[in-house]
Amino acid sequence: MSSIAEAFADGPAFVPYLAAGDPDYESSLTYVEALERGGADVIELGLPFSEPIAEGPTIQSAIVRALEAGMTPTRYFEFVADLDVDVPLVCMTYYNLIAQFGDDGERGPEAFVRRAAETGIDGFVVPDLPAEEAGPLREACDEYGCELVFIIAPTTRGERLERIMSQVSGYVYVQARLGTTGARTALSDRTAESLERITDWDVPKAVGFGISTGDHAQRVIEAGADGVIVGSALVDIVAQGVERGDPAVTVADRLEGKARELTEGALRGMPAADGGPHPERT
């Protein structure tokens, strides 16, 4: 069983996202580590790209901060190596950075995935890479034992679902509503409908886009998801810290607290076994 599969194996998974290097290298390391303390089962770690077309304003700003602080693909892999966490890591980035990675002798998905796998990355999610264009990256993932997560949107139907199902591994990222990433106060009512389309898929289903509270997390799990993905609500905490000039340790504590709220929310949503009390994870 892959490490990502294990992370989903016992109870709902909490999958937080942060952009690596936001707002600077050292603080960002402690922020990602705080997520693990708060209960993260898998961490999606953003590799910043200059044209993040799938991101709303919150994550766009995080990406700008990280790029301005000097984050590059090479620094990113150093960052991953420096991280002291035991949970699986998923690299979230845009395809051009993958296509360009390497040196002039050899650039592209194979070089990128090899380096990522050596460094400790377990999987990838690439929002601007639909299944149709994913062949080379899928092959590289197979070669190096990495997972390739795909997003399905509320608009994904019919043949497209089958095409994605045949390529996805690790987990499927169920986009709860249309649009870009961003925290919302209300949860999309399309979540249950989205999950119904893929009940027969044999990969875990993690729901993201707009989840910002423990209550949201609970309801997503109650709707049948195996995991919750939360990005903007966490990035908001980083942004607030930058704005107020808070010390990194304070921001890390807040992130840990938010992560715990979301982890606990997800646990509350888990169906009770044999009508008994909710099983607790150790």
Partner 1 sequence: MSSHTGKFGEYGGQYVPEALMPAIEELEDAYERYVLDNEDGFMNEFRQRLADFGGRPTPLQYADRLSERYDTDVYLKREDLLHGGAHKLNNALGQVLLAKYMGKDRIIAETGAGQHGTATAMACAHLGMPCEVYMGRRDINRQRPNVFRMRLNGAEVTPVTVGRGTLKEAISETMRDWAENVEHTHYVIGSVVGPHPFPAMVRDFQRVISEEAREQMRDRAGCLPDSVLTCAGGGSNTMGLFAEFIDDEEVDLYAVEAGGSSLAVDAEEGVAPNSATLSTGTDGVLHGSRTRVLQDYDGQIMESHSVSAGLDYAGVGPELADLVDRGRVTAVNVDDDNALEGFHRLSQLEGIIPALESAHALSYIENNRDELGDVILLNISGRGDKDLETVLEETHGRDIENAPDIETFGATGGFQ
Q: Which of 42, 43, 62, 97 binds partner 1 (CB under 8 A)?
A: 97
Q: Rule CB under 8 A: is residue 127 a binding residue for partner 1? A: yes
Tokens of 126: 């690439």
Asked if 101 interacts with partner 1 (CB under 8 A), we say yes
Distance CA 269, CA 222 (A): 5
User: Residue 60, interface with partner 1 (CB under 8 A)?
Assistant: yes
Residue number with CB closer to partner 1 (178 or 249) = 178
Q: Count the site residues for partner 1 by CB under 8 A.
A: 42
User: Which residues 130-149 are close enough to bind partner 1 by CB under 8 A?
Assistant: 130, 132-133
Does residue 26 carry a catalytic annotation? no
Nearer to partner 1, 9 or 53 (CB): 53
Residue 223 CB, nearest approach to partner 1 (Å):
19
Q: Among residues 96 and 240, whose Cβ is nearest to partner 1?
A: 96
Residue 124 interacting with partner 1 (CB under 8 A): no
Identify whether the C-beta of residue 262 lies closer than 8 Å to the C-beta of residue 40. no
- Contact assessment for residue 175 and residue 154, using Cβ atoms and an 8 Å cutoff: yes
| Inter-residue long-range contacts of 53-58, CB under 8 Å, 24+ positions, other chains counted | 53/94, 53/127, 53/128, 54/127, 54/128, 54/180, 54/181, 55/180, 55/181, 56/179, 56/180, 56/181, 56/182, 56/232, 57/182, 58/181, 58/182, 58/183, 58/231, 58/232, 58/235, 58/236, 58/239
Give 127 or 214: the residue with its C-beta nearer to partner 1.
127
Query: For this structure, is 44 an active site residue?
Result: yes
Least separation in angstroms between CB 232 and partner 1: 14
Q: DSSP assignment of 199-219, as one string?
A: TT-SS-EEEESS--SHHHHHH
- Is residue 51 a contact residue for partner 1 (CB under 8 A)? yes
Given 116, 121, 151, 255, the residue binding partner 1 (CB under 8 A): 151
Helix (H) or strand (E) holding 92: strand 89-92
Q: Is 159 in the site for partner 1 (CB under 8 A)?
A: yes
Annotated catalytic sites, by residue? 44, 55
